[in-house]
Amino acid sequence: MTKEPHIGKLPPQYTFTLNPYTDARFTRCPGCDQKTRQRKLPLFIHVDPLNPVVLNYTCRYCPGCDLLIVHQDELEAQLVALFEERDPSVIGNDYLVLGTVERKAWRESMKQTKSIPEMLEHLHIFKEVRTVEYRPAGWYPADEPETQERQAEKTPAQKKRPKRRKRRRSKHR
């Protein structure tokens, strides 16, 4: 048996996008602007070097575009929590969300561990993987695109507070 298992014998499903923006939750679809729904799906994730996992994760989903959106920060928080128990040395490794696993197979795997080839039998890889572009409105300097992500991580609490009347002495005269 030297034949490698085909990845995903089932038909591909969903157009997938991983959302890197912590301040965008895509309650509306970035493609068609319709309201997105929630869809909880077992995601098949390959984590380097050889640690495939299945995470039951609540995605945003646009039925019109068949677009599945996963928030990177949420997903990584769940991966960290999972690998803290299993194998902390894996935390921070590269990973790739490959597709979704049939719910029935996922449920069964909760009761009785399935091997990777067995899980792959029930994998729908994604039809297409897209990146999403989003420019948060507002309060970061518009001329510094490189710092966008950093800025996006800051909270609005760091905005300037309203000026106070009370004057403070300047330290440098």
Which residues contact Zn ion (rule: CB under 5 A)? Answer: 29, 31-32, 62, 64-65
The smaller minimum CB distance to Zn ion, of residues 13 and 56, is found at 13
- DSSP symbol at 29: -
| Measured torsion, CA atoms of residues 79, 131, 62, 14, in degrees rounded to the nearest 10 | -70
The smaller minimum CB distance to Zn ion, of residues 47 and 67, is found at 67
Q: How far is the CB of 48 from Zn ion (least distance, A)?
A: 31
Q: How far is the CB of 72 from Zn ion (least distance, A)?
A: 19
Helix (H, G, I), strand (E, B) or coil at 141: coil
Q: How far is the CB of 31 from Zn ion (least distance, A)?
A: 4
d(CA 101, CA 59): 14
The smaller minimum CB distance to Zn ion, of residues 20 and 31, is found at 31
Q: How many Å separate Cα 34 from the centre of its chain?
A: 20
The smaller minimum CB distance to Zn ion, of residues 64 and 92, is found at 64
Q: Helical H runs in 6-132?
A: 72-86, 103-111, 116-120
d(CA 92, CA 151): 22
Q: How far is the CB of 60 from Zn ion (least distance, A)?
A: 10
